[in-house]
């Protein structure tokens, strides 16, 4: 589903029973909400799950400003519309930073957190290097090159354990660009801003918020 939340266009994928939201799933930087489909359908089928495209990603608004606070405001408005009580927030990487800020700013909306390698409080110089690298090479000559980059990088094990998952992701998230090249369905200016946001100080949820932290053994970047 898609709609305007406080004037901000937000694309939201819904999984599970047609009832008020119980889980909010937040993707990482450069990702999209549909990446949660396999988890939602295979492991959370009895729960009502909302999985939005974060601002500057996918089919949600690409309009500035691009920061954690704007995402928190949009998600708080979404939960006020779609949930009848606090929800569990499952969040990966950049989504984890947003989840922490959402819980801190709106504790009445969050009953618990599941943080998958949250990206927050990171080194500013490192974030600058990553942003420079992305700006210097933001796209690919063709789908084959994009596929190879994923298989040889962060999606190597995913493509083995979940055959077809990478192809589905490319179908959803890879788009044609002017000049014949292809790239991800993201706002590059927004990504540049978000790399900086990851260097913001860590914000903790209110004391007593049930929180599960899952740390990755390997990350890229």
Count, residues in the chain: 221
DSSP 63: P
Task: State phi, psi for 158 to the nearest 5 degrees.
Answer: -60, -45
Q: Which two tokens stand for residue 127?
A: 């974030």
Span 104-146, pLDDT tens digits: 999 999 999 999 999 999 999 999 999 999 999 999 999 999 9
Task: State phi, psi for 202 to the nearest 5 degrees.
Answer: -65, 135
User: Which one, of 41, 30, 39, 101, lies nearest residue 68 by Cα?
Assistant: 101
Mean pLDDT of 40-50: 97
Task: Decide: residue 47, CB within 10 A, 0-12 exposed, 13-18 middle, 19+ buried.
Answer: middle
Confidence category of residue 6, pLDDT binned at 50, 70, 90? low
Span 179-199, pLDDT tens digits: 999 999 999 999 999 999 999
CA–CA distance, 142 with 175 (Å, rounded to integer) = 10
Please state which CATH number belongs to domain 2-214: 3.40.50.1820
User: Which one, of 125, 123, 127, lies nearest residue 135 by Cα?
Assistant: 127
The rounded mean pLDDT for the chain is 94
User: Which one, of 55, 101, 76, 87, lies nearest residue 200 by Cα?
Assistant: 101
Locate the domains of the chain by residue range: 2-214
CA–CA distance, 70 with 36 (Å, rounded to integer) = 22
């Amino acid at each position: 589903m898609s709609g305007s939340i406080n004037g901000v266009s937000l694309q939201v994928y819904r999984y599970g029973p047609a009832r008020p939201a119980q889980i909010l799933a937040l993707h990482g930087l450069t990702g999209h909400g549909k990446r949660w489909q396999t988890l939602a359908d295979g492991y959370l089928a009895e729960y009502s799950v909302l999985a939005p495209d974060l601002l500057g990603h996918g089919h949600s608004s690409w309009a500035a400003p691009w920061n954690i606070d704007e995402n928190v405001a949009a998600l708080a408005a979404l939960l006020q519309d779609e949930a009848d009580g606090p929800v569990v927030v499952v969040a990966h990487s950049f989504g984890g930073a947003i989840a922490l800020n959402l819980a801190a700013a709106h504790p009445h909306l969050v009953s618990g957190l599941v943080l998958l390698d949250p990206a927050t409080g990171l080194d500013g110089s490192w974030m600058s290097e990553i942003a420079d690298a992305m700006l210097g090479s933001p796209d690919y000559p063709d789908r084959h090159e994009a596929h190879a980059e994923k298989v040889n990088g962060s999606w190597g094990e995913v493509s083995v354990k979940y055959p077809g998952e990478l192809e589905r992701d490319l179908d959803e998230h890879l788009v044609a660009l002017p000049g014949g090249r292809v790239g991800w369905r993201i706002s590059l200016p927004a990504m540049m801003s978000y790399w900086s946001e990851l260097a913001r100080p860590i914000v903790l949820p209110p004391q007593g918020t049930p929180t599960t932290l899952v740390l990755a053994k390997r990350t890229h970047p």
